[in-house]
Structure 1
Amino acid sequence: MSSTRSGDPRDGRHRHDVEEVLLGFTRALRAAGVAVTQDRAQTYLAAVAAVGLADQRATYVAGRATLCASPDDLARYDQVFHAWFDHRDGLPRSRPGAPPTPTVATLPLDDSGGGEGEEQQDDDVVRARASEAEVLRQRDVASLSANERQRLAAMMASLRPRPPLRRTMRHQRWHRGDVDAARTLRASLRHMGEPAAIQWRRRGTRPRKVVLLLDVSGSMSGYADALLRLAHRITVASPRGSVEVFTVGTRLTHLTRALRNRDAERALVAAGETVPDWSGGTRLGETLRVFLERWGRRGMARGAVVVVFSDGWERGDAALLGEQMKRLSRVAHRVVWVNPHRGKVGYEAVQQGVLAALPHCHDFVAGHSLATFEELIEVVARA
């Protein structure tokens, strides 16, 4: 005796779409290096069915709890989750007439239930998603739409800044290097004067200070949000006290305290309330002189890696800017100038500010996309 179930056929199609999205997400995780087994994928589908797909936060936590097996998987999971579900807008929404928490069926992940064409289609979806993320990494941040800026903000969480290191006068134990005569002698005395194993030492290391100077003038307004997010990421990922952030425009503003909040959105709101000269003029020479006289000579810039984010459009005296850059290069360990137009086709350094500053810079790099931000992080880490 057979029975039939009546209902809106759109509900069945919606559940099928949801299943395809979730199963595709598990395959994308597997392609990214996360060991997602069939059991874990089935547990994930059951967990999403239990918490309901309408709750995006619960869906995110359910995946971390069921699909990740080690701390190394968490970073990959976050990156793939934001790329696959498009941060906020990528999750499938309930259609009109569908139940608010659709039931997700637990389906086997082997190939016995589907043909070769279905598997090929899923692979194409994975490659398409990866391609979209890679294209966004290369895009000029000033040309992004609001939705693309949200996706870029999520992708910035994948950045892993590393502080540059400097040698200290203190020594530490090591498995090779210089002979530690004092420790070797003490080890011999503990053995009643008999020869003991030779002890070694090397000079210790500690993070070198990094100073970020962000141009917030009108010509840099299209990059201000992305540069602030980059500065926030570097600040929270580095040891406390090793990164200082300033904005330069018509005046100098110390921004480190506002960016110490680990929540990026709150940090940017605090920064917006702190900086009084958004999208104003550019007087780099005068603001650099204030920085050197008030902060630099007191030790903040001495021996530090100083990174200047600016397009070089100087309304003031370019000779003054060159003079202050020369002073800065004398006290800093390394000066890096980041120009958002540096990596664009056909760019030539013809601005008076750039021409005055370049002779006193150790590195002149691009800074207009997520890919160039990653390259900048490597330049700073190797300084």
Structure 2
Amino acid sequence: MDVTSPKTPRADAALLGFARALRAAGVDASAERVYAFLRAVGELRPGMRADVYWAGRLTLCGGRDDLERYERVFAACFDGSAPDGRTTATAPPPRPRLVVRDGPVPRGPARPEHAPAPPAASLASSAEVLRHRDVAELDSADREQLRRLLAAFALRGETRRTARRRPARRGQVDPRRTVRELLRRGGEPARLRRHARTDRPRRVVLLVDISGSMAPYADALLRFAHAASRGSRAEVFTIGTRLTRVTRELTHRDPDLAMTALAAAVPDWRGGTRLGELLREFLDRWGQRGMARGAVVVLLSDGWERGDPELLGAQMRRLHRLAHRVIWANPRKARPGYAPLAAGMAAALPSVDAFVEGHSLAALERLAAVVAGAEPGLVEGAERA
């Protein structure tokens, strides 16, 4: 990998590739760390290998365990040597493991009754195990696998009937097309032309909490939002101490580029939470003007509120009147003995149509099904809009 050229978009792509290789090796290079790495390289000399080395070591490594992995990946990416002249041996690729499992005896020549069966190679489905694990408990390798799985996500809103019509074999008679067909045939009998109304998915609005209490889940939820905004009518906002619209930043097809752009646009990572005030700001600036009208609004938050819970309750009632459905995904809901006793969560819950978990890949899959209307997930006592 060549980093001897000045800072260019191509050089940024090379540095992002280096960050991906680090994650694959087990280093937890989050979007915040990658953004800090790019800024550090920009402030130093991008053409100097030593500057790139130390910028990455100081920003991308989170502990002693990451240093050996960093040395190995840097040596593999940048001409096989560290800036101080040391050469680092690349670890050999892992060998496939053989798992002996019981199975039916294949048909073939007869053999002794107690002869051991030959070992059969089987690939354990690590993705299936990962689906149900809490995101906050994953190590670096599992987080990288989770990112790859989230990149293939798709999220579509519940379909609604529109006023537009399309040609169809069955449906109401289309008088205009039928008359045009008769005129084209000179008045001779012609088959009646028909049309039917079209369906389209509702707009989905995602409000993602990036406060300090949501830090273990923020990266996964934002990557879920990135997948949701790809190819659908989705709007994404981050909420913490400020409200930031990040729909444009998430238009990058590459998830890592999108996360880097998002990290540069959001100024309030790991801060406090002002859910009531920020929800009021969203409704005043965007929701009341049409973004929330008839939409499926999803809040991804643990419900911790530093402000007035009564304000949050009032704004949630206001949102419930505008939106088609209001869904709240709380990562803490999956914990044993959880009850929505936090002041903010308790104030918001009466205005929520569906209250679901958001702690794992399986929970996010169910959230996608609830958004699409495939699963109700209704809150007891809640009324649908």
TM range (shorter): 0.5 to 0.7
Q: Does 1:145 align with 2:139?
A: yes
Find the partner of 1:262 among 250, 253, 276. 253
Aligned to 1:52: none
TM-score (norm 1): 0.65
Pairs aligned (count)? 271
Alignment of 1:81-230 (within 5 A): 117-118=117-118, 120-122=119-121, 125-126=122-123, 129-130=124-125, 132-230=126-224
Structure 1 match to 2:321: 330
Matches of residues 48-67 of structure 1 in structure 2 within 5 Å? Answer: none
Where 1:182 maps in the other structure, the secondary structure is helix
Residue matched to 1:306:
297
- For 1:13, the equivalent position in structure 2 comes to none
Question: Which residue of the partner structure matches residue 381 of structure 1?
Answer: 372
Does the 8 Å CA contact 2:156/2:201 hold for their aligned counterparts? Answer: no
In angstroms, what is the RMSD of aligned CA positions?
Answer: 2.9
Cα distance in 1 for partners of 2:259, 2:92 equals 38
Q: CA deviation at 1:310?
A: 0.7
Which runs of structure 2 are paired with 1:312-351 in the superposition (5 Å)?
Answer: 312-351=303-342
List per-residue Cα deviations over 1:105-147 (Å, max 9, x = no partner).
xxxxxx99xx9944x521xx22xx21x2211110000111111
Which residue of structure 1 lines up, in the alignment, with residue 273 of structure 2? 282
Select between 323-332 and 204-213 the one with higher mean Cα deviation: 204-213
Counterpart residue number, 2:11:
none
Query: Per the alignment, in what secondary structure is the counterpart of residue 153 of structure 1?
Result: helix
**Which residue matches 2:347?**
356
CA distance in 2, matches of 1:372, 1:190: 57
In structure 2, the CA distance between the partners of 1:134 and 1:171, relative to structure 1 (3 Å rule), is same
Counterpart residue identity of residue 205, structure 2: V
Residues 178, 270 of structure 1: alpha-carbon distance in 2 compared, 3 angstrom cutoff: same
Q: Give 3-state SS (helix, strand or coil) of 1:345's partner.
A: coil
- Is residue 2:250 matched to residue 1:250? no
**For 1:31-83, what per-residue CA distance to the aligned partner results, in whole angstroms no more than 9, with x for missing partners?**
xxxxxxxxxxxxxxxxxxxxxxxxx99xxxxxxxxxxxxxxxxxxxxxxxxxx
- Map Cα deviations across residues 203-257 of structure 1 (whole Å, 9 max, x no partner): 1233422111001111111100100111111112x24xx2111111111111112
Given that 2:152 and 2:227 are in contact with CA atoms closer than 8 Å, whether structure 1 keeps it comes out as no
- Give distance in 2, aligned partners of 1:260 and 1:208: 19
Provide the residue aligned with 2:229 in structure 1: 235
**Aligned partners of 1:190 and 1:264: how far apart in 2?**
52
Q: Deviation per CA, 1:173-230, whole angstroms, max 9, x where unpaired?
A: 1122222233233333434434322222111233422111001111111100100111
C-alpha deviations, 1:145-169, integer Å up to 9, x for none?
Answer: 1111011111223323234333322
Change (3 A) 1:99 1:185: closer
Residue in 1 aligned with 2:41? none
The secondary structure found in structure 2 opposite 1:160 is coil
- Cα deviation 1:344-376 (Å, max 9, x = unaligned): 332222222112111111111111100111111
Unaligned runs of 5+ in 2: 1-19, 22-72, 74-88, 94-106, 109-114, 375-385
2:340 aligned counterpart, secondary structure: coil
- Structure 1 residue 378: deviation in Å? 1.5
Counterpart contact for 2:156–2:368, Cα < 8 Å: yes
Distance 1:116 1:380 in 2: 51
Which structure is higher in helix share?
Answer: 1
Cα separation, 2, equivalents of 1:147 and 1:330: 43
- Is the partner of 2:120 in helix, strand or coil? helix
Q: Letter of the 2:221 partner, please give it.
A: L
Identity rate, percent: 53
Structure 1 unaligned blocks of 5 or more = 1-55, 58-88, 90-95, 101-110
Partner of 1:373, secondary structure, is: helix
Distance 1:98 1:174, change over 3 A: closer
AA aligned to 2:139 is S
Q: Secondary structure at the match of 1:285?
A: helix
- 1:258-308 per-residue CA deviation (whole Å, 9 max, x = no partner) reads 111111112112211211111111110000011111111222212211110
d(CA) in 1 for partners of 2:275, 2:355: 17
* Alignment partner, residue 293 of structure 1: 284
1:143 partner amino acid: E
The 8 Å contact of residues 157 and 296 in structure 2, kept in 1 or not, is answered as no
TM-score, structure 2 normalization: 0.65
The farther-off stretch of 283-292 and 202-211 is: 202-211
Q: Which runs of 4+ in 1 moved over 4 A?
A: 96-100
2: CA distance between counterparts of 1:381 and 1:99? 45
- Alpha-carbon distance in structure 1 between the residues aligned to 2:261 and 2:288: 28
